[in-house]
């Protein structure tokens, strides 16, 4: 069976966010996150593509895995999910974490009827303004 690699894996690898469908895969090159549910993977992949479609022009980069800087990818994942959470739950402030990505995406679909109806442009500012945290360097 082909592994379904999570499009929001950066948030899960660092254990900043959670997802009940996430299964870590340890490889020589590092950790990846596989999704346990094909339907959840499809929902998240569609949502991630919507986020990229609205965010990449703002960052001035093309949708090319080899050209998108890691920082831009991280901003799309972190800022996109926290922005989605903000608009889905009518929150005043953006949260810093998402407890369960799959639950959030399903709640957004329930509210907006389908992934393609989620107004990703409504949280573009959450994506572009997300502040990346620096890795700690050992002393």
Using an 8 Å Cβ cutoff, are 109 and 43 in contact? yes
Which letter, b or e, does each residue of 68-93 get, where b requires 16 or more Cβ atoms within 10 Å of its Cβ? beeebbbbbbbbbbbbbbbbbeeeee
Give me the pLDDT at residue 29, please: 82
Using an 8 Å Cβ cutoff, are 46 and 66 in contact? no
- Cβ burial of 28 (10 Å; 0-12, 13-18, 19+) is exposed
Give me the pLDDT at residue 27, please: 85
Give me the pLDDT at residue 4, please: 95
Using an 8 Å Cβ cutoff, are 120 and 53 in contact? yes
CA pseudo-torsion sign 117, 97, 126, 89: positive
pLDDT 10s per residue in the chain (139 long)? Answer: 478 999 999 999 989 999 999 999 988 888 899 999 999 999 999 999 999 999 999 999 998 878 899 999 999 999 999 999 999 998 888 888 999 999 999 999 999 999 999 999 999 999 999 997 765 555 5
Give me the pLDDT at residue 30, please: 86
Using an 8 Å Cβ cutoff, are 75 and 55 in contact? yes
Domain boundaries, the chain: 43-129
Q: Which residues contact 46 (CB under 8 A, 6 or more apart)?
A: 115, 116
């Amino acid at each position: 069976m082909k592994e379904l690699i999570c499009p929001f894996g950066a948030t899960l690898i660092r254990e900043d966010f959670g997802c009940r469908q996430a299964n870590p895969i340890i490889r020589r090159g590092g950790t990846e996150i596989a999704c346990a549910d094909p339907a959840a993977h499809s929902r998240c992949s569609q949502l991630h593509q919507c986020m990229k479609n609205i965010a990449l022009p703002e960052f001035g980069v093309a949708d090319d895995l080899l050209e998108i800087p890691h920082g831009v990818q991280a901003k799309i994942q972190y800022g996109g999910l926290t922005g989605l959470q903000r608009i889905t739950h009518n929150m005043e402030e953006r949260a810093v974490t998402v407890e369960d990505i799959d639950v959030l995406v399903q709640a957004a679909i329930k509210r907006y009827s389908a992934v393609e109806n989620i107004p990703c442009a409504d949280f573009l500012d959450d994506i572009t303004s997300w502040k990346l945290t620096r890795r700690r360097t050992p002393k």
